[in-house]
Structure 1
Amino acid sequence: MFKDIKTKSDDNQEECKYNNLDPIVCGAKNRFDEFIFSTKICKSLLGHENWVNSIDYMIFCEKELVCSGSSDKTVRLWDVETAKQIGIFKEHSDYVYCVKFSKFDHYHFNSNVICSSSSDKIYFYDVKYDEIKLTLDYHNGNVFSFDFSPFQGGRYLCSESDDNTICMYDLDFKKLLYK
């Protein structure tokens, strides 16, 4: 499991994820890089036109994937082995602040779904069918982060917003539990 490192550097680096001695993935303006622990760049994943605000990593069907969210209002999906972009989602009307692969959809339906937030919404994109599977619209301000529960296969999702609220959702029943 990758762990988060939040840093600021001379390159205006925003976020990194690492996994023991596996490669490190770091996001910065207009790109993000994959490093080995010697800090030598292995691959650069180019395509975003503005800041990369969030990244997440997953192994799905024996393929290593990274998703990224950017101030260019897009969510992108990358094949780590080839360093190629394999998907792009452009439904956001504002900066994408947070992206994560859905643990709930992975564990319960063996499907690959990316969740992303901007403005007051959280979108669930079905990668296989290239469509929005679910939209959660319960905040009145920017949704800056969210996380899946570490129990029950990620059934519960909590989100926080600059409207000073935290929401908790039950993804199995697709409903808001608390605000």
Structure 2
Amino acid sequence: MWDFETSEKFQELCGHKGSVCTIQFSPFNNNQYLCSGSWDKTLRLWDIKTGKMLSVFNGHTSCVWRVEFSPVQSEGDTNDDQCTGNGVVGGAGYTLCSASHDNTIRQWDVEQAKELAVFKGHENYVYSVKYSSTGTTLCSGSEDKTVRLWDIRSKKNIHILRGHTKAVWAVEYERANTICSGSIDNTIRFWDTRVNKQLHVINGGNDDKGILSIYFQTSKEDRGQQLIYGTCNGPIRIYK
């Protein structure tokens, strides 16, 4: 990790035995914890203040490509104004999900480093996974060209969204009932999950060669949303 002001490295987290594909900061305890996923098939939880590895999550049988913290605590858990929760790392009620080259998505209890569920249905590598803002559903994108919506309580696949012609590398919720997906087919597609229907398509630039990442940012100037996406060929593009 690096200090933005001095450009100096101030922390190094060592423990994975393969390439690290994904990281995400915890939504609780002022982002004190970091989760990582690796080619060594594990997720690991770190305390960034001490540099200590706190937990290892074992279960995947291939590379872990994406990790994601739940945005809220599960029902029945108390939550104060600071969203600090309870437990050893202050993450009681929070979960993690992970997308893997073993074609599965797995859900984990943060405090216990325990596997809670395995979501099966994709027919090839799973590259991306995202919680809804309420933490009740997941969406995912895969090498099998589909975007899938999952109900967390029932652990069931409730929608399969077809339209991409190549692997789906990125998924995001634009709003509660709208999913956005980016693909190597060089398109970004918007889907209405209420009717299982594609709403519209944004085509990438002629030289982009595919969409690898997407992100929505609320503009402070006009309070509108900006769509930011990263491409296979290097450019980062912004849509308003």
Which interval holds the TM-score relative to the shorter structure? 0.7 to 0.9
CA distance in 2, matches of 1:123, 1:155: 13
- Say which one has the larger Rg: 2
TM-score by length of 2: 0.63
Query: 2:113 — aligned with what?
Result: 83
CA distance in 2, matches of 1:10, 1:126: 33
1:129 is paired with a residue whose SS is: coil
Q: Is the counterpart of residue 147 in structure 1 residue 147 in structure 2?
A: no
Query: 2:223 — aligned with what?
Result: none
Query: 1:57 — aligned with what?
Result: 69
TM-score by length of 1: 0.83
CA distance in 2, matches of 1:173, 1:60: 27
CA distance in 2, matches of 1:129, 1:168: 25
Query: 2:187 — aligned with what?
Result: 165
CA distance in 2, matches of 1:23, 1:126: 27
Report how far residue 45 of structure 1 moved. 0.5
CA distance in 1, matches of 2:155, 2:17: 36
Query: 2:104 — aligned with what?
Result: 74
Instruction: Tell me which amino acid in the other structure corresponds to 2:159.
Output: L
CA distance in 2, matches of 1:124, 1:80: 22
Report how far residue 173 of structure 1 moved. 4.2
Report how far residue 23 of structure 1 moved. 1.1
Query: 1:6 — aligned with what?
Result: none
Query: 1:23 — aligned with what?
Result: 33
Report how far residue 128 of structure 1 moved. 1.2
Instruction: Tell me which amino acid in the other structure corresponds to 1:35.
Output: W
1:69 is paired with a residue whose SS is: strand
CA distance in 1, matches of 2:120, 2:199: 28
CA distance in 2, matches of 1:123, 1:171: 10
Structure 2 spans left out of the alignment, 5+ residues: 1-15, 78-92, 202-240
* Counterpart contact for 2:35–2:45, Cα < 8 Å: yes
Question: RMSD of the TM alignment (CA)?
Answer: 1.8
CA offset digits 1:48-99 (Å, max 9, x no partner) = 1111001111132231100001011111000111110010012111000001
CA distance in 2, matches of 1:70, 1:84: 17
Q: Structure 2 residue aligned with 1:12, among 19, 41, 60?
A: 19
Q: Is the counterpart of residue 114 in structure 1 residue 114 in structure 2?
A: no
Question: Greater share of strand residues, 1 or 2?
Answer: 1
* Counterpart contact for 2:159–2:193, Cα < 8 Å: no
* Counterpart contact for 2:139–2:171, Cα < 8 Å: no
Q: Structure 2 residue aligned with 1:32, among 26, 33, 43?
A: 43
Report how far residue 156 of structure 1 moved. 2.4
User: Which of structures 1 and 2 has the larger relative contact order (alpha carbons within 8 angstroms, sep 6+)?
Assistant: 1
CA distance in 2, matches of 1:51, 1:40: 23
Report how far residue 10 of structure 1 moved. 7.5
Instruction: Tell me which amino acid in the other structure corresponds to 1:40.
Output: K
